[in-house]
C-alpha cells in the first residue's frame, strides 16, 4: 500500500493505481458528487454512470490509460480520481474529480502531481485540455500561463501544456485545475465520446 499523505487538515490519504476491482467504489464515489460537481466535470447533467462507462473507467492498461485514486485512510473510501488517456504518441488528456466534501484540501493537486509523474514514465510529454472559445475568464487565464500552446478549434480552444523534466505538475496545470473546479474548463472530450460509441 502507498505511503499515507497527511493533508493540512490533518486527514490522511494514500494514492494508488485504480483497477477493475474498484468498479463499485467508483460508482459509489460518483454518487457522492452533487449535481453541480457532476455538471462541472462532465459539462452536462449526468444522473449516473452507465455500465459501459464504468467498464471503460476501470479497464485501464496503466500505459495509454492511467488512473490514480486517492483513498481516505480512515474509512477506505475513494475521495478523488485523476486519469489521463493517451491521444498521441507523447500527448494525453487529463481529467480529475474530487468528492465534494474533500475539495479545497489539496487532494486534486496531489493527484495531478502523481499523474504527471506517471505520464512522464510512460513517455507522455504534453497534457492537452479543452476550453470553450467563448469563455473569457479561461482565455484570460491561458494568456497568463506562459507555459502553454494554444490552438483555436472553432468553438473550443485546445491548451497544450508541456510536462517539463521535473517531478510533479507544472504551475500552469495547477491553475487549470483550479479553474476546472470553477466551471471554466471543459472536461476532456475523449473520456465520454469513446465509451458511448
Res. 20: pLDDT tops 70: yes
Residue 126 φ/ψ, nearest 5 degrees: -145, 135
Query: Given this model, what pLDDT does residue 195 score?
Result: 40
Beta strand 126-132 pairing with 148-153: unpaired
Query: Given this model, what pLDDT does residue 64 score?
Result: 96
Q: Model confidence over 136-149: pLDDT tens digits? A: 555 554 454 446 77
Domain positions in the chain? 5-196
Percent of the chain with pLDDT over 70: 68
Range from 41-55, 68-82, 128-142 that averages highest in pLDDT: 68-82
Assign domain 5-196 to its CATH architecture: 3-Layer(aba) Sandwich (3.40)
Percent of the chain with pLDDT over 90: 24
Query: Given this model, what pLDDT does residue 191 score?
Result: 45
Confidence of residue 153 (pLDDT cuts 50, 70, 90): confident
- Choose among 166, 128, 123, 6: nearest CA to 70: 6
Confidence of residue 43 (pLDDT cuts 50, 70, 90): low
According to DSSP, the residues that pair with 81 across neighbouring strands are 69, 97
* Average pLDDT value for residue range 41-60: 77
Torsion, Cα 64 43 55 80, to 10 degrees, reads 80
* CA pair distance 112, 170, nearest whole angstrom: 10
Write b or e for each residue in 166-185: b if 16 or more Cβ atoms lie within 10 A of its Cβ, otherwise e: eebbbebbebbbebbbeebb
Res. 196: pLDDT tops 50: no
Res. 65: pLDDT tops 80: yes
Query: Given this model, what pLDDT does residue 112 score?
Result: 83
Res. 6: pLDDT tops 90: yes
From edge to edge, which strands make up the β-sheet containing 91-98? 5-6, 12-17, 65-72, 78-88, 91-98, 126-132, 156-162, 148-153
* CA pair distance 77, 11, nearest whole angstrom: 13
Res. 15: pLDDT tops 90: yes
Q: Considering the chain, what is the average pLDDT of its residues?
A: 76
Range from 27-31, 41-45, 53-57 that averages highest in pLDDT: 53-57
Query: Given this model, what pLDDT does residue 47 score?
Result: 72
* CA pair distance 54, 195, nearest whole angstrom: 9
* CA pair distance 27, 50, nearest whole angstrom: 9
Taking residue 45's Cβ as centre, other Cβ atoms within 10 Å add up to 8
Amino acid at each position: 500500500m502507498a505511503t499515507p499523505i497527511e493533508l493540512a487538515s490533518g486527514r490522511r490519504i494514500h494514492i494508488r493505481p485504480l483497477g477493475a476491482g474498484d468498479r463499485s467504489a467508483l460508482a459509489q464515489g460518483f454518487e457522492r458528487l452533487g449535481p453541480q460537481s457532476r455538471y462541472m466535470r462532465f459539462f452536462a447533467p449526468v444522473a449516473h454512470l452507465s455500465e459501459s462507462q464504468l467498464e471503460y473507467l476501470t479497464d485501464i492498461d496503466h500505459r495509454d490509460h492511467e488512473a490514480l485514486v486517492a483513498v481516505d485512510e480512515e474509512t477506505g473510501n475513494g475521495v478523488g480520481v485523476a486519469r489521463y488517456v493517451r491521444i498521441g504518441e507523447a500527448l494525453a488528456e487529463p481529467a480529475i474529480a474530487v468528492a465534494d466534501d474533500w475539495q479545497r484540501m489539496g487532494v486534486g493537486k496531489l493527484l495531478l502531481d502523481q499523474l504527471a509523474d506517471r505520464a512522464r514514465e510512460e513517455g507522455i510529454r504534453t497534457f492537452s485540455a479543452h476550453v470553450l472559445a467563448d469563455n473569457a475568464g479561461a482565455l484570460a487565464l491561458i494568456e497568463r500561463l506562459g507555459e502553454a500552446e494554444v490552438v483555436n478549434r472553432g468553438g473550443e480552444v485546445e491548451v497544450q501544456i508541456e510536462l517539463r523534466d521535473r517531478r510533479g505538475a507544472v504551475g500552469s496545470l495547477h491553475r487549470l485545475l483550479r479553474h476546472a473546479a470553477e466551471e471554466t474548463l471543459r472536461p476532456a472530450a475523449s473520456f465520454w465520446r469513446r465509451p458511448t460509441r
